Every structure is written in C-alpha cells, then in structure tokens.
Amino acid sequence: MTPLGWFPEDQSLVYGQLAFDSRGRNPKSMIKRVRLDGSAVSWTMDPPDQVEFAALSTQGDTLAYVSNGELWIQDLASEKGSERRLIQGPAFFPAWSPDRALLYVSSGKLMRIDTRTGEQRTLPVQLSCEIPRVSESLLLHNARLLTPEPREGLWDVLLRDGQIRSLRLAGMQPAHADRIMDLEGRTVIPGFLNLHEHLFRGFPMEGSLYWGITSVASAGDEGLWTIAQQEAIYSGRRPGPRIFPSGGFVVPTQMNARPQFLRARNSEQLRRYMDHLSGLGATQIKAFDRREPWVEAECIEAAHRCGLPVLSHFLRPASVAAGLDRKEHAVYYGLDGDIRAPFAQDTIEILRKAGITITSTMVTLFVDSLEGQPRFKAALARTDVSNFLLPVRAEFIRRRLEKSSDAAASYDPYLKVSLANTVAAHKAGIRIVAGTDYYFLVPGLHWELELLVKAGLSPLEALRTATSNAAAALGVEGRLGCISTGAVADLVVLEADPLEDIRKTQKIYAVIQGGRIIDRASLPKAAQPSAPSSGTQDSQKGLR
Ligand SMILES: [Zn+2]
C-alpha cells in the first residue's frame, strides 16, 4: 500500500494498492480514498493497469499517474472513464504545481506540461556531474606494475588532474610531485570493474570502493535511484565507485514491474523506452524476458540505435541474430534446459562467431555451495564485510546460511558446470568479464577471481576479466581497467603480487580513485545509516 495524499479538510487519506491474479501475476492498481473516522471509502479508482508515481493535484481533484511509462491524468470529480493520456512518455516522477501544470522527468530532462492546454516545454536544469578531479599531483614511487600486463622493474607513476600523466622507470631521485608515495616495490593494478551487479537500495557503494572496486556496471537496477547515487558520488557527497547504470529492466509483461521497469507491449514502447534510458545516461541495457522472443530481439535493435549494448541471460537465435552483446552467467538459463548441462560445442561456436562476451558470476553459485558456505559465514563475521551491509540485508544473508549441508550440496553441480563452461569459452577465445550479482558482499569480486583461477584461467587472465576485458566490454578501453598514460587514475595498490597467488588481490594497501587516495578507514562509518537527528547534515546523510 502506498499513501498518496492526505486531506485535512475531510480527514481523508488517498492510497494506492497493487492486486494480483490468482497466480500472483498481472498486477493491477487500485486507488482508494478513505475517511479516517471509518465512514468508508469515498471513491475507488480502477485504472486499467499497474500505476506508478500517482500524485494528487494540490486541489485534490485530479490524479496524475504513470502507467507503462505513459503519463495519465484522471478527473476525480467526474464519472469513471475520465482518464486522459497526457504524454506517451516515457515520463516519470510527475509532480503538480498549484497552477495545474505537471513537472516530470523524461529522457534525462525536466519537463513541464500545462494539463489544460497540453503545452509542453523543457526546463533548463543541469543534471549531470563528474567525479571531481584532483589537481594536486601524486607520484607513486617504486611501483611494480600490472597494467594488467606485467612490466619489468620498478616504476614511477605520475597522477595529476585525475589521470595517469606519465610512467617512467623509477630512478634514485623521484620526479617532482606535490605528494610522493614510496610503494617500496608494492604492486599497482588498475581499479577493478564489477560488470554484473544490481544497484538497488542498500547496495554497498562505500564497501565496493573499500575493496578496490572503483567501477560498478549494473545488470538491471532501480532506475532513477541509481542515477541519483551516481550524482551523489560524482558530486562528492557519497564515497563510491564510478557507476555504469542500466536505468531499469526490460521485463515480461506479466511481471510485477517496479517503477521504471518496462513491461514491453510493442515496438514503439521499446523504442521510446530506449531513448529515455539513453537520455538518463544508461550505458547498457538488461533484457529479461524469457517468454516472448520478439521483445528481446527488438530491444537489441532499439538499444543499438541508441548506441547501447544489451545483456541477457538467454541465448535465443533471434537475439544472437539481432546482435546480442553479452550473455550473463556461464550456464544455460531458463528457456527449456537444465542449467547443469555443459555448453555444447555449437553454443561455444555461436558465442565466439557472434562476438558475445560472457559475464562470469560463479560467486553467486559458490556462496550457496558446500565449499562456499563456511567461507560466506566467516566473511559475514568480519567487520570489513559486515560494516558495509545494511542490517536488513545481513539478516537476509544469515537466514540463507541456515540451510542444511544437503541443500548446500545441491548447488555444487551448478558451480561445477559453471566453472567448466567458463574455461571452455575462455579457451575458445570468448571474452570473459567478471561480475558478482546480487549478494552485496563486498569481497565478492575477489572471490570471483579466485574461482576463475580455479576454473583454469591464469591469475593474469583472471585479473583481465575485471580490468582490461571489463573496460573493453563497456567501451572504455584505454581509459579504465589499464595503467597507461592518459588513462583515468583509478588504481589499487596491493601488498603482494597477485600473479603468484590471486588471493593477494584481497591484501589492499591503498585505493586511488580519480588520482585521489581514498581514506579507506573512514568508509565503514560513511556506509552506516546515521541515527535520526535534527542537524541538516545528518538528515542529508539519512537520505542514503
Ligand atoms: Zn543478475
């Protein structure tokens, strides 16, 4: 139930409610107005579909709402059937002004429409920002470099204006810089990129940064919430990684869509939705529709017209033909098969010839497996993991850990086939990138690297899946995921060489983002929701 408005004059409350059919599908909204003295419902509105962002006009006589991305209004004083579509959309976050105009967000722009005349205009607001660049120069002296290729000798790496400015073999006398950090032979690698996460409320932004994951790409997220986090991080109000948002999901029509998920009904809707996501700053699109092959194929075409790659769990012929970019999870997924079946040689050939990247997320199977469970428990007991989890999330994970060893063992075949598929694809020359999926356990990406080595990749090949390969899959090669002149200065300093033992990626000495040394010790505190307080600063923090 969502309260929509409170009317003191007749002590009434307007609220919305979702109802499902007997199979728990096909959600449909009901909107009701009740008086608090119990004198019953003054009206019930029965819109044809699921409604989001319902907003009552300041006069209390008109309701604006978004249904399937379209902006509608309904005159509450008149009989049923008075609803009117204002904007085909996609339009989100309608808010009324007292003069009966509606403000809303569409394609990353703030718009205004006069509900009486239909006159529309764009309001000039600058909605984007970038991670601040540090003008002070920093020299990393005596660094062993994995760029991710290993380099002979010790190096001086000069960082300025958020970039790597020069790489020189280290001399006795370090070059001039505002600040010099003597690394005494410690290993510097590019900051990690996690290519499969879901950026929903509670995602450990600070924790990602703490563990050296300086970029996170979303495989489906909460839309504008994610964009808001990106702005908070980039404007310096919240520590966190660079965000590559997907801006939502394309989901099956029968699913309970959250705000900003598109339950695609036709090609025109798909096309407009892609324009919207592109305008919002999405960098990749997650298609998740296992029922109707046309949705995914047309989604790929529409996304490609906007220059956006598409990720999917499935490998449908129509999607491969349309140019699917990434296959998520190295297992067959959901169409008709057993996910424990290994990839057929034909599948590997199709992936290779079509140039499809595989996102390996073995850690999600590992944490449920017999071997993974004790590891998971031990990690939860560590403060450098648990401090970054919201209590509700920690509780969810703890409950998952209560399963029997038989239940845990039932995950082992999935993990086994995932390891085999990943290494088979890798050997065939298919690009592998690393991701963690939805557990929100911050060392997860490091565990994924361990699993990749266990599958049969060398430590260097595993490192590439979360650095140079990942950057290439995002279309940012040469800028992220590498140590070279002109690249962004997102780096991780390790205590020891991970080529000897991949677990050494977890021994972090320092994290550098945009040329700035991150104060890692302050991150656990920054991640805690602050206690309610009257101070402005604290209440702003509470918005996290
Ligand atoms: Zn996922």
- Domains identified in the chain and CATH numbers: 2-123 (2.120.10.30), 191-481 (3.20.20.140)
Segment 488-512 shows an average pLDDT of 97
Residue 432 has pLDDT above 90, yes or no: yes
| Residue whose structure tokens are 């495989």 | 219
Nearest residue to 203 via CA among 437, 372, 518, 360? 437
3-state secondary structure of 296: helix
Residues in the chain: 544
Q: How far is the CA of 152 from the centre of ligand 1 (A)?
A: 38
Q: How far is the CA of 379 from the centre of ligand 1 (A)?
A: 21
- Give per-residue pLDDT as tens, 152-195: 999 999 999 999 999 999 987 777 899 999 999 999 999 999 99
Q: How far is the CA of 330 from the centre of ligand 1 (A)?
A: 12
Give the per-residue pLDDT at 1. Answer: 73
Tell me the CA distances in angstroms from 185 to 140, 177, 372, one per residue in order: 10, 19, 33
3-state secondary structure of 34: strand
Band the pLDDT of 284: cuts 50, 70, 90.
Answer: very high
Nearest residue to 486 via CA among 163, 241, 155? 163
| pLDDT, averaged across the chain | 87
Integer Cα distance of 477 and 493 in angstroms = 21
Quick one: tokens of 330? Answer: 């190295």
CA 103 to chain centre: 27
Decide which of 497 and 260 is more confident: 497
Segment 85-94 shows an average pLDDT of 86
Residues contacting residue 265 through CB under 8 Å, at least 6 positions apart: 68, 253
Q: How far is the CA of 456 from the centre of ligand 1 (A)?
A: 24
- Do 481 and 471 form a contact (C-beta atoms < 8 A)? yes
Q: How far is the CA of 137 from the centre of ligand 1 (A)?
A: 39
Q: How far is the CA of 438 from the centre of ligand 1 (A)?
A: 6
Segment 306-324 shows an average pLDDT of 93
Q: How far is the CA of 49 from the centre of ligand 1 (A)?
A: 27
Q: How far is the CA of 355 from the centre of ligand 1 (A)?
A: 21
Q: How far is the CA of 198 from the centre of ligand 1 (A)?
A: 6
Helices (H), 281-371: 293-305, 317-322, 345-353, 363-366
Decide which of 80 and 357 is more confident: 357
Quick one: tokens of 55? Answer: 């907003």
Q: How far is the CA of 288 from the centre of ligand 1 (A)?
A: 10
Q: How far is the CA of 196 from the centre of ligand 1 (A)?
A: 6
Nearest residue to 440 via CA among 393, 398, 508? 393
Integer Cα distance of 439 and 396 in angstroms = 10
Q: How far is the CA of 225 from the centre of ligand 1 (A)?
A: 17
Q: How far is the CA of 9 from the centre of ligand 1 (A)?
A: 47
Band the pLDDT of 541: cuts 50, 70, 90.
Answer: very low
- Do 288 and 299 form a contact (C-beta atoms < 8 A)? no
Q: How far is the CA of 437 from the centre of ligand 1 (A)?
A: 5
Q: How far is the CA of 439 from the centre of ligand 1 (A)?
A: 10
Q: How far is the CA of 287 from the centre of ligand 1 (A)?
A: 11
Q: How far is the CA of 365 from the centre of ligand 1 (A)?
A: 12
3-state secondary structure of 239: coil
Helices (H), 138-211: 205-210
Instruction: Give the type of residue at 36.
Output: L
SS in 3 state form for 354-416?
CCCEEEECCHHHHCCCCCHHHHHHHHHCCHHHHCCCCHHHHHHHHHHCCCCHHHHHCCHHHHH
Q: How far is the CA of 307 from the centre of ligand 1 (A)?
A: 22
